């Protein structure tokens, strides 16, 4: 398990943190551009938007992992845009 390996190896943990921060930075940039274009509400902070998007995926993966295969990501993205705009 990658998380367990990172817990044992400080170098791996630092690399994992760096990669996570890079992904987060890219997502923040995408979200900021969407706000500038008026596609999402400027009053919704990035972390709140991330929670709205990521939350359902985390819940499904923990409680109903088999349902992820049937997930309609396009419909989910459409609903998220509706919520965030």
**Among residues of the chain, what percentage have pLDDT more than 70?**
82
Between CA 59 and CA 55 the distance in angstroms is 6
16-51: per-residue pLDDT in tens? 667 766 667 778 888 889 899 998 899 998 888 888
22 or 77, greater pLDDT: 77
């Amino acid at each position: 398990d990658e998380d367990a390996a990172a817990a044992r190896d400080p170098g791996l943990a630092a690399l994992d943190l760096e990669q996570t921060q890079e992904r987060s930075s890219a997502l923040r940039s995408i979200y900021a551009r969407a706000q500038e274009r008026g596609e999402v509400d400027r009053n919704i902070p990035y972390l709140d938007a991330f929670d709205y998007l990521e939350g359902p995926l985390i819940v499904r993966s923990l409680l109903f992992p088999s349902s992820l295969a049937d997930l309609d990501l396009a419909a989910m993205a459409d609903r998220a845009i509706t919520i965030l705009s």
